[in-house]
Every structure is written in structure tokens, then in C-alpha cells.
Amino acid sequence: MASHFLSSQFFLLLTIILHCTTTTVAQSLAPAPGPPGPTNITKILEKAGQFTTLLRLFDITKVGDQINTQLNNSKQGMTVFAPTDNAFSSLSAGTLNSLSDQQKDELVQFHVIPTFISMSQFQTVSNPLRTQAGDSAPYKFPLDITTSGNQVNLTTGVVSTTVANAIYTDGSLAVYQVDKVLLPMSLFGPPAPATAPAPESGKDKKEGGDDGGQSPSGSANSSDAVDLRGELHGLMVGVIAFIAVFCL
């Protein structure tokens, strides 16, 4: 009986050892997880959903590829304001179709900032914020950001909106949902006021004085003509008097 008990215990111990060994070997043979792939803005927006129009513009303008390239070759990071499909639907009919390829590129670039900005960092940004569209001067591509508590407000000079939520952030890329398309002044704002004419130079004023001086000169010439006529009249009177005396 004791021998049978020992055999059973030995068999159980052997089974446990074999199981542990098999598990350890299996774990050692399993491939180690690879490093995460490069950041891809397109995949992020596809996973989030409701950004079909923005993705189409990314593809048309190649801005999506540009963002991915910059993200994986620069340490500055990037920030993207992503308008939803509803935001694009609220635009006037034909708005996007009326834009040239260059204008579409400028519109999309206006939604991209070439640095990473966290929600808390919005409180310290300097306005106007420079986007990848370029010139942030008035009537060009100015973007102003203000905060009120945890709310982030965006103003382009044409539209104002707020950041709805953070779709993605990893310390390198931040993607924020906005419920309005950010319309830049350069494309959708009123025309810039006409430039005031330049003041007259000293030379122009001098030339103007010379022109004005012609009038006195003309008056002098007119006076000379009157004197000449007076002299001729006197001469004629003298001649007539001489003839009258001679004939008598």
C-alpha cells in the first residue's frame, strides 16, 4: 500500500515538473513583441471615425504623408485640429469644390501646427499661433488661441470654435477634435483694406513749386506785351502828327 502511494506521489510530481518545463520552453520560444510602428495620422483618424472628409483632403493634398514624415523625422512633434464630417457638412454648398488645389492645401495646413501642444500648454501659447499654412499676419493665416478654465477657444477672424476633445496624444502628436472647419482670413475673410498712397517726396513738391512759378512768369510776359503796345501807339501818334504838320 505504501509503495503504491509513493508511486502515485512520484507520478504527480513528475507530471508537475513536465508541465512547468513545457510552459517555460513554450514561453522562451514565443517571439518577443516588436517595437511599436511609426506614428500614422491616417490610421489614428480612421480608428477614431467621423473624419472621412478630412482624410480625403489629407489624401488629395498629400498633407497626411507630410505629417507622418515630419513626425518620424523631427523631435518637435505636431498638433492637428481635426474637423468632423459634420463640421464640413455645415459649410455652404460647394465651398470645398470652389477651392483650387493650392487653396485646399492651405486650408488643410491651417489645421496643423508644427509643434506638439498639450492641453495645458494652450494656456501659455503666443498669439497669433503660426500654423503650417505659413504667414500669420492679419488677412493671411492668423490663428488665436485663448483658454477659459479647461476650455480651449480657437479664433481665425472668420469663425470661432472650441476644442471638443483630445482624440490622440502621445507626447509627440496631439490630435484634437473641433466641430467647425477653421476658415483662414486669406481664403474666406474680407479683402484687406487698400494701402494708403505714399506721401509726396521733396522732389515732387519742388517740381510742383516750379509749375506754380510759371504763372508769375506768364504775367510778366503779358505786362511786357502791354508796354510794347503802348510804345507802338505813341510812335504812331508821333508819326501822324509829323505828317499833319508837314502837309500843312
pLDDT per 10-residue tile (average), the chain, 248 residues: 52 54 48 63 95 97 94 90 97 95 96 95 93 86 93 96 96 96 92 69 54 47 53 56 50
pLDDT reported for residue 214: 47
Would you state the pLDDT for residue 137?
Answer: 81
Q: In whole angstroms, what is the distance from residue 88 CA to residue 57 CA?
A: 11
| CATH class of residue range 41-188 | mainly beta
pLDDT on residue 219: 47
Given this model, what pLDDT does residue 196 score? 57
pLDDT at 38: 80
Task: Let me know: does 144 contact 130? Beta carbons within 8 Å.
Answer: no
Grid cell 498633407 is found at 63
Bridge-based pairing state of the strands 151-155 and 144-148: antiparallel
Q: Are 173 and 163 in contact (CB under 8 A)?
A: no
